[in-house]
Structure 1
């Protein structure tokens, strides 16, 4: 194949979840519904936090940040897919594709860091309750958010800018519903060894360290809870972690599931369908997990909905 740079090959083709034209209206309706549920659910979490001073605590501050990130992750991928289906046009420009890669990396990594920060918050709350508000002061909470965002931006910029060095071939078909970094990298005609090494290094560094922090935090939490003499105290401690642990399991479980499925199957289309489980589903379910399992959040949501028409 004849190599071309991005000025000579300005467009990629997003093949989507299926090439069956009869299924496209169903996929459009399903993903539009998922997107609307994601936006409304996460927006309600943010508005409930903003309007209720009773839950202005570090845990709910991080939760509202997670909801904002979920909105951004979904907005990075789903709208373009819906536009392409509606217009019956699979194309996306090189700049648009690179931009989508960058933003998806930023918010995906940011969510990864946020889950680690939230695990640390639960660790401090349960293992050091007497000094919780001293340790988790507003300044530290703000710094943790800014540091997480800064690291995510640096990583995303580095990986995205490395893509600018690559030349691409004529057949620019991406077997995905968005520009996923690994899939785009496969289309390059030039040497991608450095890019691949950098991706794996960043994945281990910025994926492994937060996950290790989550595992360490919950190891300490379980150890501390088991030493509590009261059964009621144990149940209360575990209940404060239940929502976060469910979100962590959903996020990492689906991501690892997709990785394993891609390793055991040669079908890129099957891998694309499986990737919906970590790029779309967690962002939609997170608000339900927190609102259904958390009494304070349910109360804040009820109060917000009651007051809503009066605002």
Structure 2
């Protein structure tokens, strides 16, 4: 049964007091580490109600991804709710709704070309200097079976790393690339244009969350290489550089695949997911072809990672 008071890990910030929650809004945690489903809430109302939105934002910081079903709201209300978190951003490759700037269409139907940028564990748009703060995603039309999405708690992934690895990666930084991912199947000229528009940014391997203070393991499918690994402390001879750095990076990226850090969500039409892109990764399971899967996402502008 849904519960009115969300569970909180002992070392997590106390972001929501039971007395603050409205009696109509109930919360059911879905795993021990990430994800909660909300009941008794309408996101259209939350777009217009400061107190209700504040409750939802606090719950998002605690659970990192929130889910809510049966949201028969308009696209304008979708945009209005997402905009409460901050300005929205378009995507340079995916198409947006022409009447609702910032609402990106992720439509997979029989006319779609095979694409594999979603079914990889990734943090949205880390190829930007300022990756998105988060996103609000709606299922417009989904398959009867399949098409789930998985989210991962990357604060938990960092917390449970061996201490010697935490020490080794404390000051490391890495490059992230749109050219090597979205651009990989493009003609060379178009690929180079994309990289010129979005030069590969450099982010810390361990990011500090700007609101909760948690340390986040911040490497994913867009990460190409470590940029400051080749030091006397790490490299005996020159041939250590490439394999040593890549082995470490692959180990770090693999942490997102640990089931204990994950939650899996089964979509229904008019269900929503709201996630904190700073502390999570996600994976859209592509197991439903030839069924149709149509999603609409409002991505929220984020901060530079420094």
TM-score category, normalised to shorter length = under 0.3
Higher helix share: 1
Structure with the largest fraction of strand = 2
Query: Under a length normalisation based on structure 2, what TM-score does the superposition of the two structures give?
Result: 0.25
- TM-score norm. by structure 1 comes to 0.24
